[in-house]
Every structure is written in structure tokens, then in C-alpha cells.
Amino acid sequence: MNKKITVLPGDGIGAEVVEATIKVLDKVASLYDHQFEYKFADIGGTAIDKHDNPLPQETVDTCRSSDGVLLGAVGGPKWDNLPGNKRPEKGLLGIRKALNLFANLRPVTGHESMTDSSTLRKEVVDNVDLMIIRELTGGLYFGEPQERREVDGEEAAVDTLQYKKSEIERIVRQGFELAKVRRKKLTSVDKANVLESSRLWRETAIEVAKDYPEVELEHMLVDNAAMQLIRDPKQFDVVVTENMFGDILSDEASMLTGSLGMLPSASIGSEAPGLYEPVHGSAPDIAGEGKANPLATMASAAMMLKYSFGMHNEAASIDTAISSVLTNGHRTGDIAKDGEKILSTNEMTDKVLEALK
């Protein structure tokens, strides 16, 4: 197969982890007889420096004309004091919106050899395998009005939590589709005891469930879900929830595996190409030093192969290579324990390339 990939390295370690991941994609292409054509474009702080805009139109156009988008990370202290609409993060929110990416998928998989680095007990996190699906384009982060106003003579602020039924339906359906090919359990997280938007969410989930009789649907209040994720994460298969609950729960879940440097993500929509990126940021504290852990970006590329290109064996070969590298005790600084040998980004990449079959 021939696939066009837009590469958005972004800022800080973004460029380093993306470069490492392209080497892995190239090896997959040669092993499986595919051709990946890369087009680079600017986003975030780098784009502000070059174009005075965190998301130039040219970047959006390049992304739209490709089959998948691989992103590093955006942001850094250099751009921290710019006004809101000029900040690197606007580039990220902007590209998600421009591509209408409504579902953010974050798998959390505990590698047995790594669970020592979690703050939770080993028996709680060993073999955790769950997927959080967060709605990305609605809810409190986008609802209008979102403003400061005067109430009873003093300053006040308002945000609006709105969901249309169609927005709920498409994300919940995504949850069922994924649960169908996993362990067939979907947990829909809401706050239906308090919020009207959550009551519509729950009603809609129950309606959509009729199309998926093979999947067990459970409802969980968000406060309970936050507790259960830490108490017994193995009870979860696929979790689907609205934007802000998902933002918080997915960061909480990410700590089950111990390191930000290990977590991939995918943002997908119905027509445009998906966007694949590590969960971590641009790590300005280690940028340019060759210390970044590239595994989360490599695992994000594996998600691109699976969800955007339908290349399931190829994706599995990357995941297996990452697992075997970890099982063999290879570690970058962020996941090494005291006394363990620390590999550079390039050395870790070479280990993955060696393990890739």
C-alpha cells in the first residue's frame, strides 16, 4: 500500500520522537512492502516563529490531503507569555477542530516489566489493558457563552456545557465499535445524578446499545469512575465519556503505567485523516539532549497503521517490538530505576528497530 503521512514535529522533544518514529515506520514499510510518503508541516511554537500563527492554513491543507497525521508535541517557555489565540496549544486545538476529530482514544496498557514504576501496587496494575475514549469537540471547552460578566455587582465567569444528541451518539457508537473487537464491555461515564447533559448522554447510550447486543453496557458516575480506576483498573475494557471528564480521567489512567513517555493516543473523526500523537508534551527540560523516550510516539504510529490504514499485523509488530525491548530491560531515563543503564533516544530506537520483525 502507498500512504501519505503528514508529519508535524512541533516543538521541544517533538522533533526527536518523530524522527525516531519515522525510522520505525520505514522499517515496517520495507518489511511489509508498503510505501510511506512523508510531508512535513509546522505547528505550535515553531509555526509561530516562522509564520506568526500556531496553525498556518498550509498545515491544515497538508493534513487534509494525507491519509494520517503524526504529531510530536507543542509548546515551551519561549511562547508561554503570548496572548491566548497566539499560543502553541491553539495550534493543537485548531487542528483537531479543522479535521473534525471528535474522538480521542487513549489506550493504557501495563507492560509487566514496567509496573514497578507505577505508584500503585504491582498486583493492581499488572496486565491492565483499557481504552479511554474522550469526546473532543463539545462540552464545556467549546460551549457558548464562555465569558466574564457582572453578577450582583461583582465579577463572575460562565462556561456552558452543551451536547447535541448526535454528538453523543457518534462518540458512544465509537465506544461500542471498539468494545466489540476487544473484551465486549463498555463503561459510559457521566454525572447523570446532577447534570442534564449527562442524562441525555445516558439515555443516548442506552439507545445506541440496542445495536450492539453482544457488548455489555454499564453506566458509572464520574466521581466513582475516578475512584475505581485506581482501586481496580482491570475491571475496565473501554470507557467512553464527555470532554472534560475524559480529560481528567485519561490523565489519571495514564499514571497506571508509570510514565508519560509510554502513552500513545489517537484522535479520529468520520472523514478526515486521524491525528496520532504521544500524550506527553514537549518536555523543554530535556529537549535537544537526546534523552527523550520515543516509545509513546512509536505506539501512536502503530495506532495510525491500525485505525487509519487497516494494517493490523504491521501495528502489532510495532507493539510487540516495544514490549520485547521493555521485557529485555532497555530503558530511557524517564523509566529507568536507580542503577539501570540509561539509553539515549537513538539507542532506544535502534533496539526497537532490531526487535521489529
Of positions 75, 107, 139, 274, contacts ligand NAD by CB under 6 A? 75
Binding piece for ligand NAD, criterion CB under 6 A, among 147-155, 166-174, 228-236, 273-281 = 273-281
Report the site for ligand NAD in 316-335 (rule: CB under 6 A): 334
Distance CA 56, CA 58 (A): 5
Binding piece for ligand NAD, criterion CB under 6 A, among 144-152, 162-170, 193-201, 289-297 = 289-297
C-alpha angle 235/248/185, rounded to 5°? 25
Please list the residues that pair with 151 across neighbouring strands.
Answer: 154
Shortest Cβ distance from residue 86 to ligand NAD (Å)?
14
Q: Does 74 participate in binding ligand NAD (rule CB under 6 A)?
A: yes
Burial of 89 from C-beta contacts in 10 A (0-12 / 13-18 / 19+):
middle
Distance CA 260, CA 298 (A): 13
Of positions 170, 280, 306, 330, contacts ligand NAD by CB under 6 A? 280
Q: Which of 247, 306, 334, 351 is catalytic?
A: 247
Distance CA 33, CA 23 (A): 15
Of positions 286, 301, 315, 321, contacts ligand NAD by CB under 6 A? 286
Residue 27 to residues 16, 297, 317, 352, Cα–Cα distance (Å)? 17, 15, 11, 10
Q: Where are the alpha helices (DSSP H) in 99-238?
A: 122-125, 165-180, 196-209, 222-231
Q: Does 92 participate in binding ligand NAD (rule CB under 6 A)?
A: yes
Of positions 9, 54, 68, 76, contacts ligand NAD by CB under 6 A? 76
Residue 288 grid cell:
535537544
Is cis: bond before 145, omega within 30 of 0?
yes
Shortest Cβ distance from residue 235 to ligand NAD (Å)?
28
Nearer to ligand NAD, 220 or 348 (CB): 348
Instruction: Verify whether residue 23 is a known catalytic residue.
Output: no
Q: Does 261 participate in binding ligand NAD (rule CB under 6 A)?
A: yes
Distance CA 265, CA 248 (A): 15
Instruction: Verify whether residue 251 is a known catalytic residue.
Output: yes
Of positions 282, 300, 317, 349, contacts ligand NAD by CB under 6 A? 282
| Cβ-Cβ contacts under 8 Å for 293 (sequence gap 6 or more) | 17, 259, 261, 262, 332, 333, 334, 335, 345, 348
Q: Which amino acid is at 64?
A: R
Instruction: Verify whether residue 223 is a known catalytic residue.
Output: yes
Report the site for ligand NAD in 37-66 (rule: CB under 6 A): none
Shortest Cβ distance from residue 274 to ligand NAD (Å)?
15
Residue 115 grid cell:
509496573
Q: Does 281 participate in binding ligand NAD (rule CB under 6 A)?
A: yes
Contact footprint for ligand NAD (CB under 6 A)? 13, 17, 73-76, 89, 92, 260-261, 277, 280-286, 292-293, 296, 334
Which residues does the annotation mark as catalytic?
141, 191, 223, 247, 251
